[in-house]
Amino acid sequence: MSALAPALPLVLALAAGALLGVLSGAALPVRRAIAAGALALNLVLVLALVVLADRGATLALNIGSGPAGVALQLVLDRLAAWMLLITATVALVGSAYACGTGADRERPRFHACVQFQLFGLQGCVLAADLCALFLFTEIAVVASYALAARAHGAGWPAAGRRVMLLQLAGSMLFVGGIGCVAVALGSTGYAALAVGVPVTPTLAAARTAGGALVLAALALHAMLLPFAGWRARERTAHVPLVLLIVAGAYGLLRLDTLILPCIGGGPCGPLPAVVPLGLGTLGAGAIGALAVGKVRLLAFRLLLFPFGWLLIAAGSGRDLGFTAAIYGLAHAAVAGMALCLATDLVARTRGPRPAFALLYAGAAAGIVGLPPLSGFMARLAILGATVADALVVWSIVLGASLAGLIAVVRAAGRIWWNAPRSPTTARTVPRIAVAAVVVAVALQALLGLAAGPVFEFAGRTERQVIDRAGYITAALTSRP
């Protein structure tokens, strides 16, 4: 039974998505009950998987075996279980907020889209094969288009075309990379990639090129520096986007530790480009945050902060750096969600709302690293991990924090004061939506206050991921 465990959340999300798709004409409470039940069950399942994975075993499951070594392989280790927990939590809170604002009332297939996106994201997390990764990424991206279309409103068709073209380019890079790797090594499984050795120099070059293409595609999804500000105006910051970016960052972490270190033929270590890319992403976010005036655009720039930190941490050495990156995954998802929800909340309300301004300040303070939220701990760990390059890294990280702080204080003041004062224009926001934002901010605080145990878990995860042997053995010995 435990061999099938990694597939359970995927099966659940797929079944719930299909059921909700069929029942899209059913009464709203029925759909909500099914969706809430499925998301809660997913969270419980994933918690069980975290406990299972924390025992130290790596579970692998082969679903069928395709031609030329292409297989749908799922592998569950601590890092994957941690990421599953993050996606399940964010999906639950984000959906609760969307229900509160009536998103599912206007769009009958909203909950089905959420389930399909969760299916795609959790598949990305569990995938141990480049083909499977590509498949699940596309599912998640397509589902997020549908969700994003609502978040953007009337301006979506034109903006959406451009975003779709961008994602399509990413998919082409992805497919090209997979092709190169498959030709070079005869397989696309992570484990085969990690241990495989090309027989001729041409094939070795093909493997390097394939790795670079896959990396570029993931960077496009994770909005790394070259793609950080691209078409930023068309992309409102919303929860599905945050989840997509987190999944892209997770993919980078996984490839960075498992496959890519050895692709160049040199000693296995973090990619040299990761830290400069992270610093650049952070700098782009900081400059953008100072430059923009609107709250919605500011959220998009501030989102780059935790991802910049994450990359800096991932690239700066194995021990504390990678532990900080694993903590940073949770911080990025939770803080990004809190910021998106708080931004949406204040953008929906008219009239002076000091309490909402405070909520917004709380959500945004976490993302720029103010204590005692998770951002402070993540930044502290990154500063601790980059002592060797303190002058450059610390100046950029702390300078960006100061810029972000100025932008956040400015925005919070504007929300508090510049709203129209007459009570007649005040639009009420349902309590569920407000409660979801409060929960999101509280999750940030919880992650900060419980940083001790979380960092311990991250440390265990780091040792397992760096070891690689458990993952590779489990993946290579599993039978379909």
Report the interface residues with other proteins, using CB under 8 A: 320, 323, 352, 354-355, 357-358, 361, 365, 370-372, 376-377, 380-381, 383-384, 387, 394, 398, 401-402, 405-406, 409-410, 412-413, 416-417, 451-452, 455-456, 458-459
For residue 130, the Cα-to-chain-centroid distance in whole angstroms is 18
- Nearer residue to other proteins within complex by CB, 4 or 402: 402
- Nearer residue to other proteins within complex by CB, 412 or 472: 412
- Nearer residue to other proteins within complex by CB, 203 or 358: 358
* Residue 69 φ then ψ, to 5°: 75, 10
- Nearer residue to other proteins within complex by CB, 126 or 447: 447
What are the DSSP calls for 177-205, one per residue?
HHHHHHHHHS--BHHHHHH---SSHHHHH
Least distance in angstroms from the C-beta of 251 to other proteins: 25
What tokens does 338 get? 């809190």
Least distance in angstroms from the C-beta of 81 to other proteins: 19
- Nearer residue to other proteins within complex by CB, 336 or 448: 448
For residue 477, the Cα-to-chain-centroid distance in whole angstroms is 30
**Distance from C-alpha of 218 to C-alpha of 213, rounded to nearest angstrom:** 9
What are the DSSP calls for 292-324, one per residue?
--SHHHHHHHHTHHHHHHHHHHHHS-SHHHHHH
**Distance from C-alpha of 142 to C-alpha of 337, rounded to nearest angstrom:** 20
State the first-to-last Cα distance of the chain, in angstroms, to the nearest integer: 15
**Distance from C-alpha of 311 to C-alpha of 328, rounded to nearest angstrom:** 9
Least distance in angstroms from the C-beta of 177 to other proteins: 35
Least distance in angstroms from the C-beta of 299 to other proteins: 19
- Nearer residue to other proteins within complex by CB, 53 or 412: 412
Least distance in angstroms from the C-beta of 390 to other proteins: 9
Q: In terms of Cα–Cα distance, which of 207, 116, 133, 129 is closest to 171?
A: 133
Least distance in angstroms from the C-beta of 364 to other proteins: 11
- Nearer residue to other proteins within complex by CB, 57 or 409: 409
Q: In terms of Cα–Cα distance, which of 156, 140, 59, 73 is closest to 107?
A: 156
Least distance in angstroms from the C-beta of 402 to other proteins: 5
- The length of the chain is 480
Give the H/E segment covering residue 63.
Answer: strand 59-65
